[in-house]
Amino acid sequence: MDCHTQKLGGKQAQCAGAAIFRANVCKSAKFRLPADRKSVFASDMEFASHHLQRTVTMEEILDMKMKQFEKIIHGPSHEAD
């Protein structure tokens, strides 16, 4: 999560909020802390709604995930129809 990392002493460090979010929504993650669904986003929908500053539907979340998956499979220049 690029927006939640910084260089400290020549190493890439991640913030606790990003680690807790992964615990809240991911089944497994490389770096995570105990879940805290009150202080940190409890779902992808909460995360997207906050950053987009509007209510996001489950359908939109699934569409966003599909577009991200297509970029991984086909590369960043791939445009979904």
The structural domains of the chain, with segments of one domain joined by +, span 1-40, 43-81
The pair of structure tokens assigned to 3 is: 């927006």
| Model pLDDT, residue 59 | 93
CB atoms within 10 A of CB 40: 20
Q: How far apart are CA 43 and CA 24, in angstroms?
A: 7
Which residues, including other chains, have CB under 8 Å from residue 79's CB and lie 6 or more apart?
Answer: none
What mean pLDDT comes out for the span 37-46? Answer: 87
The alpha-helical segments, DSSP class H, found in 1-81 are 16-25, 44-52, 58-74
What confidence score (pLDDT) does residue 20 get? Answer: 79
pTM of the predicted structure, to 2 decimals: 0.55
